[in-house]
A and B are shown apart, each in its own frame.
Chain A
Amino acid sequence: MEGPIRKILVYVDGTEEAITAAQYAVCLAKSTGAELHALYVINTRALNDLVKARIFLDSEEAEYHQDLESDAERYLKHVDKMGSRKGVSVILEKRSGTVHQEIKKYAEEVDVDLLLIGELSHIRSRRDEFYNETERAMRLVHCSVLVVKDEERVWDLYDALPE
Chain B
Amino acid sequence: MALVDLVKPEIIKVPLESKSKEAVIRELLQILIDAGRVSDFDAAYDALLAREAKGSTGLEAGIAVPHAKTDTVSTLTLAIGIAPEGIDFRALDGNPSNLFFLMLAPPNQSGPHIEALSEIARITQSKTFCKMLLRARDPEEVADLLTEED
Contact = CB atoms under 8 A, between A and B. Distances in A.
B122 A126 contact: no
Contact of B118 (A13, A49, A60, A121): A49
Contacts of B23: none
A132 B119 CA distance: 10
B111 A53 contact: no
A51 B114 CA distance: 11
Contact of A49 (B67, B113, B121, B147): B121
Interface string A32-53: 0000000000010011011001
Interface stretch (A64-72, A79-87, A103-111): A64-72
A125 interface: yes
Interface stretch (B28-36, B51-59, B82-90): B51-59
B55 A57 contact: yes
B117 interface: yes
Interface residues of B, number: 29
A47 B117 CA distance: 9
A43 B113 CA distance: 12
Nearest to B123: A127
B57 A55 contact: yes
B121 A131 contact: no
Interface string B55-86: 10101100001010000000000000000000
6 contacts: A46-B118, A49-B121, A50-B118, A64-B113, A121-B2, A131-B119
